[in-house]
Amino acid sequence: MSNYMIGLDIGTSTTRSVIFNRNGEVISESEHAYSTYRPKPSYSEQNPMEIESAARLAISTSISKLKIAPQDIIGLSISAPMHSLICINDNNEPISPLITWADGRSYPQAAIMKESYGQDLYEQTGTPIHPMSPFVKLVWMKENQYTPYYDATRFVSIKEYILYKWCNTWQVDFSIASATGLFNIHTLRWDEEALAIAGINESQLSKVVPCTTQVGPLSADIAKELLLHTSTPIIIGASGGVLANIGVGATEEGETALTIGSSGAIRRFTKQKTIDAEQRTFQYAFTKESRIVGGATNNGTILMHWLARQFSSLTKKETVEVSDLEALAATSSAGANGLFFLPYLNGERAPKWNAKAKGGWMGLTLAHTSADMIRSVMESVIFNMYEIHDKLHENIHPTKKLVVSGSYARSPLWVQMTADIFRKTVILPESTHATAWGAAWFGMFALGEVESLEAIKSYIPIKHEVLPTVRNVAMYEEYYHLYRELYNKNKPLFAEIDRLQY
């Protein structure tokens, strides 16, 4: 009997292959990084061939470490980021860089469309009109005479590109398709109005299939390189957000997952067909009956890495670790002695959807310390996540269970802030591989090895639960309201500041 399942987590900066046994334990893993290029302000590009190569290397390395035979592998299930876009020519080769979710060049197009027909498109696709979406990127390409757009015969995401290279098929799962802004969440088909505005047709897009679909077989050369059989089941899987929810056991109504890495998101599965009238949250298809709703932020642990670089420069040290900054922040008190930080260093998605939003400290005095400054940055990330949560739950059932994951969850201070600001008990799973774990176990479900998504929960070890600190709860509630006002009061200035910067 085969005993091992591979979860392939294609991320924004690395691809990780994690091999699990049937008890959900990590047996082997391998991670390989790649670069993001920013040739102009607001651009964010990657090399799709570099990512595909990293994925191959991650899988083969994780298997070779374990020294197991191909027949020991139950299957491979794939997670990938949303909103990526690659132009493909008639030889099925990339003729553009991969444009990532973080690319903001299409801000002018997004602003115009949001004011004109944005609400109608949002209600059909569940995707807010924003530079992140491939739909808006395509409109930018059309209006700016972007040569690859006019030479392309196909437009795909990074997962579609990799699957074509490995299995010679152009297919896309519901969740990745739904995040393009081109997919109708009611009909579960490509949306004719969105395609017309983007200037493309359905033949230039992949076939949309359920997330449980087996693709393949693997080509002989790829199978040999991956150390797998050509017949090894390949599950198309879903987006990283969907699979992170499954990986932490937030699969039912009222169960909310909060994930913070470089960026962050709050997500819920729901069968409610509710669209936010103010376009503050997303609603993407997962199955024919279920959707995933939530909101994503551009500003997660990336802020702490930015701070670490600044402190490194100031102290003339080669590197300053984020963990050192967190330890310093812990010496400040809750509320950072009245110091606030607006966390929008990378613009913002939910709930503001303001690509020109800016960051900065407010209330800074000579009495404040570097510890206060760091702590205020950490608190601002959680305030922002709580605001997304607040808007999300205007339209769906309230949260009964809050589970956290992502690199931020390695920080006890940050997790405690979450419990205090959300005023809820926070559940922290043992594994730090939530997305890969979710991919692997979703693959097991797709292959009939697990009875249901709900049954997967029994395999998820919980590290511990974190309770709110009573004395901090009321204070943070007051701070949260002031935090929101600081954004509202400064919002009119952001466009002017942006004009001076770029």
Quote the pLDDT of residue 396.
86
- In the numeric block, which tokens belong to residue 372? 């206060």
As a whole number of angstroms, the distance between CA 78 and CA 226 comes to 14
Quote the pLDDT of residue 36.
95
Quote the pLDDT of residue 488.
97
Q: Is the distance from CB of 255 to CB of 268 less than 8 angstroms?
A: yes
CA distances 316 to 143, 198, 313, Å, are 46, 49, 5
Quote the pLDDT of residue 234.
99
- In the numeric block, which tokens belong to residue 40? 């102009």
pLDDT band at 117 (very low <50, low <70, confident <90, very high): confident
- In the numeric block, which tokens belong to residue 20? 């699990």
Helices and strands (H and E) in the chain: how many: 16, 23
Residue-averaged pLDDT of the chain: 95
Question: Do 4-232 and 248-502 have matching folds?
Answer: yes
- What residue spans define the domains of the chain? 4-232, 248-502
- In the numeric block, which tokens belong to residue 158? 């990074």
pLDDT band at 432 (very low <50, low <70, confident <90, very high): confident
> What amino acid occupies position 444?
M
The structure's pTM equals 0.92
Q: Is the distance from CB of 460 to CB of 431 less than 8 angstroms?
A: yes
Does pLDDT of 242 surpass 90? yes
Q: 150, 131, 133: which is closest to 194 by C-alpha? A: 133
As a whole number of angstroms, the distance between CA 469 and CA 334 comes to 10
Quote the pLDDT of residue 12.
87
Percent with pLDDT over 70 in the chain: 100
As a whole number of angstroms, the distance between CA 107 and CA 104 comes to 6
As a whole number of angstroms, the distance between CA 403 and CA 247 comes to 10
Region label for 216, one of left (φ > 0), alpha (ψ between -120 and 50) or beta (otherwise): left
Q: Is the distance from CB of 349 to CB of 104 less than 8 angstroms?
A: no
The H or E element spanning position 477 is helix 470-501
Measured on CA atoms in the order 40, 354, 304, 260, is the torsion positive or negative?
negative
Quote the pLDDT of residue 184.
98
For domain 248-502, is the CATH number 3.30.70.600? Answer: no
Burial of 314 (0-12, 13-18, 19+ CB in 10 A): exposed
Alpha-carbon Rg for the chain, nearest whole angstrom, is: 22
Q: Is the distance from CB of 80 to CB of 239 less than 8 angstroms?
A: yes
Q: Is the distance from CB of 297 to CB of 265 less than 8 angstroms?
A: yes
Query: When comparing pLDDT for 189 and 117, which is higher?
Result: 189
- Mean pLDDT over residues 208-224, rounded? 97
Q: Is the distance from CB of 68 to CB of 6 less than 8 angstroms?
A: no
Measured on CA atoms in the order 80, 86, 92, 95, is the torsion positive or negative?
negative
As a whole number of angstroms, the distance between CA 131 and CA 129 comes to 7
Residue corresponding to tokens 């770029």: 502
Q: Is the distance from CB of 8 to CB of 35 less than 8 angstroms?
A: no
Burial annotation 460-494 (CB, 10 A radius, 16+ → b, else e)? beeeeebebeeebeeebeebbeebeebbeebeeeb
Quote the pLDDT of residue 67.
86
Query: When comparing pLDDT for 40 and 431, which is higher?
Result: 40
Query: When comparing pLDDT for 378 and 41, which is higher?
Result: 378
pLDDT band at 58 (very low <50, low <70, confident <90, very high): very high
* Adjacent-strand bridge partners of 428: 464
> What amino acid occupies position 396?
I
pLDDT band at 316 (very low <50, low <70, confident <90, very high): confident
Q: Is the distance from CB of 32 to CB of 82 less than 8 angstroms?
A: no
**52-56, 262-266, 421-425: least confidently modelled range:** 262-266
* Adjacent-strand bridge partners of 19: 6, 28
Percent with pLDDT over 90 in the chain: 86
Does pLDDT of 18 surpass 80? yes
Tell me which fold the domain 4-232 belongs to: Nucleotidyltransferase; domain 5 (3.30.420)
Does pLDDT of 486 surpass 80? yes
Region label for 396, one of left (φ > 0), alpha (ψ between -120 and 50) or beta (otherwise): beta
pLDDT digits (tens, 9 = 90+) for 325-384: 999 999 999 999 999 999 999 999 999 999 899 999 999 999 999 999 999 999 999 999
* Non-local CB neighbours of 308 within 8 Å, separated by 6+ positions: 319, 320, 321, 322, 324, 325
As a whole number of angstroms, the distance between CA 71 and CA 91 comes to 34
CA distances 419 to 266, 427, 470, 476, Å, are 14, 9, 10, 11
As a whole number of angstroms, the distance between CA 154 and CA 163 comes to 14
As a whole number of angstroms, the distance between CA 137 and CA 127 comes to 13
pLDDT band at 41 (very low <50, low <70, confident <90, very high): confident
**15-24, 38-47, 431-440, 472-481: least confidently modelled range:** 431-440
pLDDT digits (tens, 9 = 90+) for 130-142: 999 999 999 999 9
- In the numeric block, which tokens belong to residue 66? 């374990």
